Amino acid sequence: MKQTQNTAVSPAPHRGQPRRRRAYVICTILASVFIIAMAVVLMSISDNRVYNDYMNQAQLLYYNKDYDGALSMLRKAASKEKTDECLLLMAQCYENQGAELGKVATVGDRQGGNL
C-alpha cells in the first residue's frame, strides 16, 4: 500500500503586500494633507470675507459721522487682519472724535461766558 505523505505547502509570501500597504499609507497621508490644506484655504477665505464686511460697515458709519460705531467695526476688522487701511481709518475716527469734542468744549465755553 502506498502511503501518501501529507506535506503542507505554505503559501509563498506575497512580494506585493508590503508595497501595497506602503502605497495605502502614502495615499492616506497625502489625502490628509490635502484635506488640511483645503480647510486652511477655506478658513482664510472666510476670514477675508468677514474682514471686508467689517471694513465696509466701518466706512459707512464713518461717512455718516458715527465714529464710535465705526471704531467698533474697525476693532473687529483689526482682530481678523491688521491692515494699513484699517489703522488709517481708525486714526481718522479718533482725530474726528477729538475735533467733535473740541467743538463741544468751545460751544460750552461760549455759552458759559454769556451767563
The answer to whether residues 62 and 89 touch, using CB atoms and an 8 Å cutoff, is yes
pLDDT of 47 reads 75
Closest listed residue to residue 85, CA positions, set 96, 94, 95, 77: 77
pTM (2 d.p.): 0.55
For the record, the C-alpha cell of 82 comes out as 491688521
Mean pLDDT in residue range 5-15: 56
More confident call, 110 vs 48: 48
